[in-house]
Structure 1
């Protein structure tokens, strides 16, 4: 029998390395628990309107029933605070935390692309990803809003569903850092989410440090085709956006008896 080709050992080694990197298959029960955690994070990061505030007992009971884990501990710390606040205080804290501070905004493409044309394309691509999976967000929120991204991850599963979360890992890290610096209880929700994601690399940490000191890219022009920044498309919900100025009124010149040439 002829010897094996010399290339076979290299192929075997490559496949062995890939198998080592690949996570072990999860059981249906583990997948179900993962989906529940993603949905809880999505709900708890939404604006605490009357409906969400009324659901606090159900959310607290659901978190309390989770199996013991670091994620469950973080979510329990958050729901304890969440359940004990007046709704008005919750609303004020949410707006101050996520709408008035850019470092903890929940719009993920801002951290990757800033106010540049690439952000418009990123939003369009993300919306197309949702539609290809059979999911339409109905224009209620921008497709990069973190609660929307989390709900898609829960619906579509760990592969393609969680891909946007992995893509925006650095933005998530910056949000968590800002929440921790502000001592906001919402830091626990991000910490729970991180238990489902790969840990940040050294390159991720270095990139987050640069974002802290330099900020995202800035180019306040040409955000087509998804939207035109400055006219409300990228503003957080409820943010006042001044209307576009009306065109100037043209007053016809008074009649004259002499002919005037161009000026």
Structure 2
């Protein structure tokens, strides 16, 4: 049975579209009815969904890009926070794709497979215990992203608070502190953004050393921030 809250969070963290705006009342209702999420977070999610539904679409899209595309420390591509530009990320990506396929999951999106909304859509279809374990293994990444969003006074922070609660595990404080030690990016610094795009592309070709067939194993290896920041690809 599908975990409707994970599916709803996948959607709420996706790039804003007119269709997504139209479904936001239903998304808010799903999250507002989940007893696994505490009352304060449910209220914050309700405000996020309501604001999403009512806002100008272009304003929503600009806000999303400034947060998640132009801020590498807020990237929704999880492996960016671990592997940097190293070949290891390409191998991990190949293994993640294989894991999706083994689970009968083919993402209908141009996003990379480690994009958080894609992973959440996959987890929504997995057994509850497996989904909780994977969320718990990624807890320090989700916690750090949530903390950065709180700093920026972004209502998206509520989505990460909900994910932490659905995972049911407190993030390792030292790992979170290591991630937060990286300075926040300035999304208005276009020169720095151009420099990122000029960095070497990640290679996704076969890697004989990439044999990690389980998503949980890969996320469990996320024990610290990347040594070199990466760019989000579409």
Q: Does 1:176 align with 2:146?
A: yes
Q: Which residue is 1:191 aligned to?
A: 161
Give the Cα separation in 1 of the matches to 2:232 and 2:65.
Answer: 13
Q: Which residue is 1:235 aligned to?
A: 232
Q: Which runs of 5+ in 1 are unaligned?
A: 1-30, 228-232, 238-263
Against the structure 1 CA distance between its residues 222 and 79, is the aligned structure 2 distance closer, same or farther, given a 3 Å change threshold? closer
Query: Aligned Cα RMSD in Å?
Result: 2.9
How far the C-alpha of 1:55 sits from its partner, in A, is: 1.9
Q: Which residue is 2:21 aligned to?
A: 53
How far the C-alpha of 1:130 sits from its partner, in A, is: 0.8
Q: Which residue is 1:111 aligned to?
A: 81
Q: Which residue is 1:225 aligned to?
A: 205
Q: Does 1:40 align with 2:8?
A: yes
Q: Is the 8 A contact 2:67 2:74 kept in 1?
A: yes
Which entry has the higher C-alpha Rg, 1 or 2? 1
Against the structure 1 CA distance between its residues 161 and 132, is the aligned structure 2 distance closer, same or farther, given a 3 Å change threshold? farther
Against the structure 1 CA distance between its residues 87 and 222, is the aligned structure 2 distance closer, same or farther, given a 3 Å change threshold? closer
Q: Which residue is 1:150 aligned to?
A: 120
TM-score by length of 2: 0.72
Q: Which runs of 5+ in 2 are unaligned?
A: 184-198, 208-229
More helix by share: 2
Q: Does 1:77 align with 2:47?
A: yes
Give the Cα separation in 2 of the matches to 1:59 and 1:105.
Answer: 23
TM-score by length of 1: 0.65
Give the Cα separation in 1 of the matches to 2:137 and 2:85.
Answer: 18
- Which of 117, 124, 135 is the matching residue for 1:165? 135
How far the C-alpha of 1:152 sits from its partner, in A, is: 0.8
Q: Which residue is 2:179 aligned to?
A: 211
1:83-119: per-residue Cα shift (whole Å, max 9, x none)? 3311111111111111110111100011121221111
Q: Structure with the greater relative contact order (CA < 8 A, sep ≥ 6): 1 or 2?
A: 2
- SS state at 1:113 partner: coil
Give the Cα separation in 2 of the matches to 1:115 and 1:60.
Answer: 36
Against the structure 1 CA distance between its residues 223 and 56, is the aligned structure 2 distance closer, same or farther, given a 3 Å change threshold? same
Q: Is the 8 A contact 1:48 1:90 kept in 2?
A: yes
Number of aligned residue pairs: 195
Give the Cα separation in 1 of the matches to 2:155 and 2:75.
Answer: 15
